[in-house]
A and B are shown apart, each in its own frame.
Chain A
Amino acid sequence: MVSISAKASMKVEKAYRPTSPWQDRWRQVAHNRMAVIGFILLGLLVGIAIFASFVAPFDPFEMDLENNLQPPSPAHLLGTDKLGRDVLSRVIYGSRVSLVVGFIVQGIALVVGVTLGAISGYFGGVLDMVIQRIVDVVMGFPFLILAIAIVSLIGPSLTNMMVVLGGVVWVDYARMVRGVVLSLKEEEYVVAARVVGASDSRIILRHVLPGTLNVIIVQATFGIATAILAASGLSFLGMGAQPPTAEWGAMLADAKPYLRQLPLMSIAPGVAIMLTVLSINFVGDALRDAFDPRVLKV
């Protein structure tokens, strides 16, 4: 039998069990109501995207030319478009394209930006100067205009658009990571690693980069939303996803002539974009509050 004092002692131990900083952060996120909403929404969107073929009532390319431009009905909850395709199905399948674009664009930007940022911050000198001047030049252009210009030159397609967007937004990572690396490389553990003879690549990969994860996670989260918006914008202009691909921005462009007749044709993809971006931003806000050491924690 355990004594009362022992029990009390155990309770105290349980209450004060030490947790890692990561666990603290995730707990903070989990207690953020908006983040939870964001995660749920995002989870729903990702689920819809993955299981689109089960969720969507029709093939997004299936045409019913004789029943085009129909208003909502039991058969077609959001109506049909100019070629008789089910709008709801196209919105559902469009989630795949948007999410894939968002992740791939950020993936490209992350790999390129983090690599160059880390090299720039760690080595300094001429390498730093060259990389940062390139960053300055790219940042000097409004990124969407630059993306439009480059896609116009190389030809419009979903792949080209993703590569171009990734190739334009990497500068955010480069700048951010460089800043963190500059401070981290003077930390004692980094100096110690250098003293014991660790190679530069090992130091960067094992000791420096982990310290940048905070900012990378936050940047990547917001960046996905930005990429989805940018991709929708480019597709709206005919420079991204090409017809007949179901993509929200392209659907907005297709729906433009029918704004009065069939407003749902544009509202549906518009709301889809809004909910996706909103949910990612909710999550991003919470992650930033939790992970960014510069945010004052009360």
Chain B
Amino acid sequence: MKNSLRIWIGLLLVSSMLLAACQPAAQPTVVQEPAPVEGPAVEDTAAVEQPAAEEPSSEIVKGGTLIWHSVASVQFDPPFIVDGPSFNVASQIYSFLFRVTGDGTAIPDLAETWEYENDNKSVVFHLRKGVTFHDGNEVFAEGEGREVVASDVVYSLERYLTIEGGQPTSDLLANYESVEAVDDYTVRLNLTNPDALLFVNGRGLTSMGVLPKEAVEFYGETWTMHPIGSGPFELKEYIPDESVVLIPNEDHYILPNIDELIFKIIPDETVAAVALEAGEIHYISTSSTTIFDQFAANEAFDARIGSCPWNWYISLDYNSPVTAQFEVRKALAHALDGERVLKAVLGGLYVGGCGTAGPGVPGYDAELCEEYFSYDVELAEKTLTDADWAKNADGIWEKDGTPLAVRLEIWNLTPMPDIASALVTQLKDFGVDAELVQVEFGTWIDDFYGGNQKELMLSNGFCGDGGLNALWGSSGLFYTLGYTNEEAATMLDETNYMVDQDVRDATLREAQEKIYQDYPVLTLGFAAGGEILNAKVQDYQGTAWFLNLVTTANNVWLKP
């Protein structure tokens, strides 16, 4: 009897699952092609006027808790912030001299106006009066938040550029000469050369939050867990791996419409999508075309293609005896069909292109793919055989008894495993002994920056103008990782102060080509992200680098 019952229960389970399988498959919706990104114009010497504020809608509803998705725990100290999730939070806590909108427009924040002087080699910022640091903490008692003045900007910038282990933007670091407080509300930044990227998302001054010196000194090593700024929100609670809770700064010059802002940390994109659909969070960004299509078809949500395609690439370890060889790098570049893989995995979010400068960005080279990264297995094989590589009995390339073996390290967030899986299969088909290593995002970061790189590291990142400088300039990321190309680096450094956009664009392209001739990375293509909001969220204008929820241009609110 007992055995019969087991059989019936088992059969019942199996048949109910099979019935569930018989539902028709959902039809994907067509995803719009993303609009090309235009690079921002360099400011001329005229003072920047505050944009005319829109008349407030009579429909604005104040209150409510806005819950934003974050994929990882965060870092609060601006010089050490290199990732999107951390900067999303920092954008709320700190004031910046200015903010940049999703379309690349610089809008006032702490600085109301600014102008160039001295042949564009100096920028004078005029600070807003009455902005105060967050109060009600161990440094500033309730109601006694100190006013932010020019010396705070000077302190913050000098700390940003000089603190050990910090990651200041390379263009600013390369061009910086000095900064001075002309008076309490005027800051002059002096540069050795004009900086074409000073106001570009993710470059120049866009990562420099203004900090109170006394708070940094008071907290010392624990400062990073007690961030105090002058932004529209202040930190209420941070639970690592769980959430960041912010409350409005009631003394901010623009009072947030919402009562509370929570960044809910959900590493898994699929779980985050479920949470969004269940109403537990109001926003996710996604690189999954499946998730994007699912919400695009639902009127309760607002699905948008992101404005800033970022590049997918595989960085190569120059310290590895395998990938230090030019012919190996070149062969791998032609053995991988990045376009097909990204198209299959990312669907409508894929926008094509190769290199570091994406479509619509200064320096974009439409010929780069065809010239250096075309999928050409015959060329890849010839490259190796010309260099005395040959396949062994197992079909693996070998030279002097050493097989061509590589590890590809990725972080374990969608869609990395899918993309990497396809790439590893292509490598194996080509005759490379390829192994995929999945790690947590934090571990990947530690390995990448901490000298523990694998032969191949899959990554994505950097959208918009300035990427070439950030990665390949003389202060760029890849120089710290061992790659050198002085000629290209010098050219890129010079573009930092080229105000003629045509000349700058041509120089960037030329420098980019010089770099990619070495195959220091394997570029796979560009893809835009998708942003999905609950339709209740109003007045959100998109994210490129800054998460602008409360600015002179917008102030998000929640429909009831």
Contact = CB atoms under 8 A, between A and B. Distances in A.
A247 B273 CA distance: 25
Given A83-B421, A257-B270, A156 B439 contact: yes
Contacts of A63: 422, 425
A84 interface: yes
A29 to B, nearest CB: 14
Contacts, number: 86
A243 B436 contact: yes
A238 B425 CA distance: 18
Contact of B438 (A242, A261, A271, A274): A242
A242 B454 CA distance: 16
A15 B7 CA distance: 34
A242 B436 contact: yes
A260 interface: yes
B421 A65 contact: no
Interface string A240-269: 001110000000011011101111100100
Interface string B18-33: 1011010110000000
A66 B344 contact: yes
Contacts of A83: 344-345, 418, 421-422, 425
B136 interface: no
Interface string A187-206: 00000000000000000000
Interface in A153-188: 155-157
B441 to A, nearest CB: 12
Contact of B344 (A65, A238, A243, A267): A65
Interface in B132-190: none
Nearest to A270: B17
A189 B362 CA distance: 89
B428 interface: yes
Given A34-B6, A82-B418, A258 B438 contact: no
Contacts of B290: 69, 257-258, 261
A278 B10 CA distance: 9
A257 B425 contact: no
A274 B341 CA distance: 33
B121 interface: no
Interface in B1-58: 3, 6-7, 10, 13-14, 17-18, 20-21, 23, 25-26
Interface string B370-394: 0000000000000000000000000
B25 A238 contact: no
Contacts of B124: none
Contacts of B269: 257
A33 interface: yes
B288 A244 contact: no
Contacts of B420: 243
A71 to B, nearest CB: 5
B102 to A, nearest CB: 26
Contacts of B13: 274
B417 interface: yes
A61 interface: yes
B131 interface: no
B291 interface: yes
A212 interface: no
What size tier do the contact residues of chain A reach? 35 or more
Given A71-B25, A254-B418, A263-B23, A242 B435 contact: yes
B26 A261 contact: yes
Given A65-B422, A242-B435, A243-B424, A267 B18 contact: yes
A269 to B, nearest CB: 12
Contact of B270 (A61, A238, A256): A256
Contacts of B17: 267, 270-271
A274 to B, nearest CB: 8
Contacts of A256: 270
Interface in A92-147: none
Contact of B425 (A61, A155, A270): A61
Given A68-B344, A83-B418, A267-B17, A238 B437 contact: no
A152 B428 CA distance: 26
Interface string B454-486: 000000000000000000000000000000000
Interface string B89-125: 0000000000000000000000000000000000000
B417 A243 contact: yes
A254 B3 CA distance: 35
Nearest to B269: A257
A267 B22 CA distance: 11
Residue among A63, A69, A152, A157 facing the most chain B CB atoms (10 A cut-off) = A63
B25 A261 contact: yes
Contact of A263 (B20, B340, B417, B439): B20
B343 interface: yes
A34 B417 CA distance: 40
Given A238-B438, A258-B290, A278-B10, A244 B421 contact: yes
Contacts of A69: 290
A253 B271 CA distance: 12
B26 A257 contact: no
Contacts of B438: 156, 238, 242-243
B538 interface: no
Contacts of A243: 417-418, 420-421, 424, 436, 438
Given A256-B270, A257-B288, 18 more contacts: A63-B422, A63-B425, A65-B343, A66-B340, A82-B345, A82-B418, A83-B344, A83-B418, A152-B440, A155-B437, A155-B439, A238-B438, A243-B438, A257-B414, A264-B21, A270-B17, A271-B14, A274-B14
24 contacts: A34-B7, A63-B422, A63-B425, A65-B341, A68-B344, A69-B290, A84-B344, A156-B438, A157-B437, A238-B417, A242-B435, A242-B437, A243-B424, A244-B422, A258-B290, A260-B294, A261-B25, A263-B23, A264-B21, A267-B21, A271-B14, A271-B17, A274-B14, A278-B10
Interface of B: 3, 6-7, 10, 13-14, 17-18, 20-21, 23, 25-26, 269-270, 273, 288, 290-291, 294, 340-341, 343-345, 412, 414, 417-418, 420-422, 424-425, 428, 435-440
